[in-house]
Amino acid sequence: MSLVLYGHPFSSYTQKVLIALYENGTPFEFRCIGPETPQHSAEWSRRWPLRKFPLLVDGERDIAETSIIIEYLQLVHPGPVRLLPADPMAALDVRFLDRFFDLHVMNAAQHAVDGALTGDSVKRHEGLALAVKKLEVAYAWLEGQLADRTWAAPGEDFTLADCAAAPSLFYADWTHRISDAFPVLRAYRSRLLARPSFARAVNEARRFRPLFPLGAPDRD
């Protein structure tokens, strides 16, 4: 088996790549980064000194950054589900939405997580307030953007953008609940949770829920 993925099941960005791998049934070995597997951490750090996961290893080639990993998989290990359209303009739409979910949903929620991890009540409050402010803007934009769509991008195909959206909206909703004012977005999140590839990633990470620093809700 040539493909190895270093990451953690509870990591949103690891889940993003896992979705892509599961969508196409791509064989790979998963090496969890954690205190119980120091040998994996050591090899991961050697290969990628910036110590960000996930990291995909294909033989002697190391591929970092989730969007690049998924594009690499399509180029080198393609499967029946094409996650980036062949049409360049359609692909540009998908890449934009992929970046939107990473930068304006997941990173927004991360402000609250980082604040909670400090253990400082003031920083926890400030981080959550900033996350709420940013997420409300993102939710409102997505509510209009996703109208009359099944998945994130125009058309009927599940794409790279949905790989990014699934964990982003999953954890964002835990951080700041998507209210009833955004029924289109809530329905989209439900469709993502029902997608077998993401449902598998969610279930594999279920035992790690006590680690969520804001407190994982008893749902999903």
Q: Say which residues have a Cβ less than 8 Å from residue 74's Cβ, sequence separation at least 6.
A: 82, 83, 84
- Which pLDDT score is estimated for 2? 87
Please give the Cα distance from 9 to 61 (Å, whole number): 22
Q: Which residue blocks in 150-210 are alpha helix, DSSP H?
A: 160-175, 183-194, 196-204
Please give the Cα distance from 159 to 191 (Å, whole number): 14
Cα–Cα separations (whole angstroms), residue 5 to 15, 17, 63, 105, 200: 11, 9, 10, 24, 16
Q: Cβ atoms within 10 A of the Cβ of 125, count?
A: 13
Please give the Cα distance from 141 to 129 (Å, whole number): 19
Q: Are strands 55-58 and 29-32 parallel, antiparallel or unpaired?
A: unpaired
To which residue do tokens 């896992």 refer?
18
Instruction: Give ∠ CA 17-196-66 in degrees, rounded to 5.
Output: 10
- Which pLDDT score is estimated for 1? 58
pTM value > 0.85:
yes
CA dihedral 5, 8, 125, 165 (to 10 degrees): 50
Please give the Cα distance from 178 to 136 (Å, whole number): 8
Low-confidence stretches of the chain (pLDDT beneath 50): none
